[in-house]
Structure 1
């Protein structure tokens, strides 16, 4: 128990250091040992290279008429579907909510006002994130909004309250890291296209190190409140192989204070 407390405290200190300094600690000497306790070492700086944060489903390039003055800077880039089944199996109510969300973008998207992205969206936003793996727990440190999450590997915890990032419990299936996240508050979107889930969602992630510099990432979403069936996204994550790779803090709250507090500071 004492050693476990020390490890958790150390991991928390690393996360806080990333928040304060604007960087996460780079691994000394590169990526470190190939294995930890006989399991693949996933430690490193990783990033998705796709358009999933725009839309998990297949989509064509599209101009945003309301931002015409920005030209191509504000255009939606085309992208392939990362949904294994091709499309998301919404029920009628879930689809109606997706369309309402989509019509309200960008104002309605939690990303616009720097709310925490939730899981799985945190892993395919257009920013790098860092995995710090120890002999006991695993810490994810995200650039966006200074977010982080600690994956409990020794015991399965039940969250006392719902939060934006939920409670993550992990285990190993052979050499594949499996993480189950529950107790999210139902507010995070899955992308900028308004795809969503409810507070009843359970997200099961699978991370497999397929080469030293590539993780195959899967996330299966189970939420009968919104969907007619479970469904899965799949994509590769790429390691930043730059020497002393770091993540830089994207502390976005100062950028959106006028949006968050317009009624308090007299803005219309």
Structure 2
């Protein structure tokens, strides 16, 4: 009887192990294909109040939920929310981490190099700056399209990077695979990276692109993607530096049927005093990734500039 129980236990162990393995493509590679959502309510950097604490306690979570609910209710009661705030994708925390950044251990970005540029447009009033604008969101004026941020000009999305960084909405990416390449398509602004897996050499350093040049390989069940040759017309990360010297290493690991662990490391000695790493869980989406038509039917830029001209005309006529 003891031998029979041992045999049954052994068979159960083997069966459970096999069923838990990462599914494979027809080429025998880990199957990462599908649409994945990287929205989360975990901040990129650890709030100072949590100091060296990497995880929230149950009491922290309860208090945070209470404050968040109260704040949202106050906005709703005051009618302060926009009519279409239901589009905002707040995400959820799959664990209790206090920051997406896992290195440095304090959960915060490394110090910025002296002399590295720092400019952040944001959603507030226009700021001082030079044309053409190289930050993602916001602007320096309304004299022409080049006064507006890169995302307003539909050149890059404000969460597509690379690397992917959770933001207000459209936090989706679709992955396609063949034997010798992987295609990574961000929903916004339908940015596509074709990542060769055949060991070919990187592009010549003189060939630069908005999303850089990517090369990939398999490290066990993890897809590793190294990207360089950024064009320097975007910031290195967040509001800091420029991207021209940045080396980005991304790691995609399927941890279960519904979860893809996405980890990235930014190594940019021209901007930061150290490299840093962040980990973002991606959740499987049972649906399609539809076109993000940033330009077609989008009259926002035209109306923004036309409105500025009308204000100037009224001011000149003394009718404002």
Aligned length: 222
What is aligned with 1:97?
118
* Cα shift at 1:190: 7.0
Is residue 182 of structure 1 aligned with residue 224 of structure 2?
A: no
Q: Is the contact made by 2:156 and 2:191 (CA closer than 8 Å) also made in structure 1?
A: yes
1:206/1:165 Cα in 2 relative to 1: closer, same or farther (>3 Å)? same
Q: Is the contact made by 1:113 and 1:259 (CA closer than 8 Å) also made in structure 2?
A: no
Q: Which has the higher contact order (CA 8 A, sep 6+)?
A: 1
1:170/1:76 Cα in 2 relative to 1: closer, same or farther (>3 Å)? closer
Tell me how far apart the structure 2 counterparts of residues 72 and 232 of structure 1 sit (CA, whole Å): 34
Tell me how far apart the structure 2 counterparts of residues 221 and 229 of structure 1 sit (CA, whole Å): 9
What is aligned with 1:251?
293
Unaligned ranges ≥5, structure 1: 1-32, 64-68
1:56/1:221 Cα in 2 relative to 1: closer, same or farther (>3 Å)? same
Q: What does the per-residue CA deviation read over 1:213-266, in whole Å, with 9 as the maximum and x for residues that have no partner?
A: 1111111001111000111111101111x2xx2101111124366269938x95
Tell me how far apart the structure 1 counterparts of residues 299 and 138 of structure 2 sit (CA, whole Å): 13
Q: Is the contact made by 1:119 and 1:181 (CA closer than 8 Å) also made in structure 2?
A: no
Is residue 208 of structure 1 aligned with residue 253 of structure 2?
A: yes
Is residue 194 of structure 1 aligned with residue 239 of structure 2?
A: yes
2:264 to 210, 213, 219: 219
Q: Is the contact made by 1:47 and 1:124 (CA closer than 8 Å) also made in structure 2?
A: no
2:32 to 34, 38, 42: 42
What is aligned with 1:165?
211
1:230 to 255, 262, 275: 275
- TM-score normalised by structure 2 residue count: 0.58
Q: Is the contact made by 2:250 and 2:263 (CA closer than 8 Å) also made in structure 1?
A: yes
Unaligned ranges ≥5, structure 2: 1-22, 48-63, 73-77, 128-136, 140-147, 313-320
Q: Is the contact made by 1:123 and 1:129 (CA closer than 8 Å) also made in structure 2?
A: no
Tell me how far apart the structure 2 counterparts of residues 120 and 36 of structure 1 sit (CA, whole Å): 28
Greater radius of gyration (CA) = 2
1:195/1:82 Cα in 2 relative to 1: closer, same or farther (>3 Å)? farther
- TM-score normalised by structure 1 residue count: 0.68
Secondary structure of the corresponding residue to residue 113 of structure 1: coil
Tell me how far apart the structure 1 counterparts of residues 79 and 299 of structure 2 sit (CA, whole Å): 19
Q: Is the contact made by 1:207 and 1:218 (CA closer than 8 Å) also made in structure 2?
A: yes
